[in-house]
Structure 1
Amino acid sequence: MPNKIKKDYILNIIKQIDHPQNSGLIQMIENINVLEQTVKIIVNSELTEGVKNVTGLWQSLIEKDSKIKDCSIIFTKHTVPALKKDTPSKSDSFLNKYDLSHLGKIIFIASGKGGVGKSTISNNIATSIAEMGFNVGLMDADIYGPSQPKMLGLEKSKVKVLNKKIQPQKIGNLSMMSMGMLFPENEAIIWRGPMLMKAIQQLLLEVEWGNQDYFIVDLPPGTGDVHITLAQKVVIAGAIVISTPQDISLIDAKKAIALFSKTNTKILGLIENMSYFECSNCGKKHDIFSSGGAEKITKSENIPYLGSIPLIRDIMESADKGRPYVLHKPEGKRLFDMVVKNIFSELNSN
């Protein structure tokens, strides 16, 4: 059955509901995603009591249908604080926040240390949101180890400049730019602080990003100049910290959490990557890098636990082939859709 018919089928179900707010709320639906017998409805609305009542009726009625097993509602409200329209020149010191209102909700993805899969997670989160119908920007701010071009199959793409603006590479609803596309693949970037900051400023201000709903920033590992400067210069919707389960990674994850806390950045939560390995033969789960550490930290630091991603060979192979895991396997879509659902929930919480 074509996807359009499936969406119309869901709309016809919820149109049956007799509630004064129903028709108005239906107009706020941004996307209806149907995968097998699972329905996901994205609504551009804040979660008020009235909205909660109506969407509760939607879920109840949809799940009564024999063709559907599960229905979830994701709420997104795109509100951006008003800022001065003056864009700083290249020579400006970092005195005022940039006006990046056209980029929508800006999300930082960080890790206290390298090698925990931060860029892979960033890539799949950005792709997952784009697949939901949103316009998404993905900025590879990992200057010393840019990997997004390779992961998206764009490492051989040539950068274009039009009207003095760098043109991002586009794949569907996803726009991406990386410093790795401005240098030969095997050339080391040996820059100190000032040059590093100019590069970040160039990626933010001199790329023709257009209007985005969400803007994902894949930060360098650690807690250095880039993190501090961006936290001071950008109005951030929230930050996500990536860690693996072992203690050495969690210690550094706590440092990233502390940095965002000190810069008054909302922490959307922590994602545990390489959480476990599941044997393809017997199905048994193996906690290769220990277990339970990430959840303990989220409780001790009082931040949300956004989900776990297992250690899967297909994730690595998909990245190497330049195709995000969420597009390659239904299981990948399911895994990251759940993480994105939790991210959206935190973005819309107080």
Structure 2
Amino acid sequence: MTAPRHVDAVVLRRRPSGLPRPDDLALSEVEVPTLGDDEVRVSVLDLSLDPYLRSTLAGRHLDDAPVAVGDVVPGRSVGRVVASRAADIPEGALVLAETGWRAEAVVAAKQTTLVRVPAGVPASAALGALGMPGLTAYAAIVRHLTPRPGETVVVGAATGGVGSVAGALARDRGARTVAIVGDDDKAADAIDRLGYAAAVVRGRDGWEDALAAACADGIDGYLHMGDMPTLHAVVRRLAPHARVSLCGLMDQYNDGPPTTLPVAAIIMARATVHGMVVYDHGDLVGAQLAEVAALLADGSLTLHEERHEGLASAPAAFARLMAGRNRGKVVVTVGR
């Protein structure tokens, strides 16, 4: 009998409390199941790290099953099919799949998507601009914020996987885009690499005055992916009939207090507030892929990634992401 195949994986060692620590997770080995009918074995190349995983690890992300201590951390990756028992997925195909944080996984063929990216664009774009973060940005722009030429759109976490795409989409529609970021390096990225008209570093002394100066005519659209003080500061500067998309609550992911809305300011602005759940917008995938791919191809959108090497780097990279220290969409290179 052939011995079971084991591969490296990252498992939950301890449920995080507050900001995740690298030692909440641990590198381990797990067995790769035997390949069954209509299944493929995928060798992971690039692994996506995403903020929603923090609430998944806590057992409170939508309908996601709780992650037990000792379980492999869930996650999406781009990988190469190294064995297949599915007629429509050949060996050698590049696929997007929910593999978890492991070097190799067996998944149902129907739960994979063939990866196609424009010439010159890395396959990892399927984890960011051409993947779920890009769809989040696209839905927020086309369904929630609906920017018009000359309007001001403010984007929180503006240099991340969602924010970098949202800024480009709003700018492509003629809006003036303003980035809210966490430090000066990200502010430079926002303006120099991603094309924002202005960038404001949240939380420092005088930052609300800087936001007001950057948005002198008020804020027509706001994509929120930050903490409550940032949300309140922006809402106080909404223009009449502004639109807000509540996409991410980073402080709550890390066990912060419940977020409240300054309702009086929303009423005064006659603003519309939307809740963003990306799974509601799957019908937009075709349009998202077409438009975002075109922006990547003509250079209107820069693929902004922060890369880490090897599965062993994933726990520290995730802690860095959840502390807001990342610069770009976080991707772990697992294989080549």
Determine if the TM-score, normalized by the shorter chain, exceeds 0.5.
Answer: no
| TM-score, normalised via structure 1 length | 0.32
| TM-score, normalised via structure 2 length | 0.33
Higher strand share: 2
Higher helix share: 1
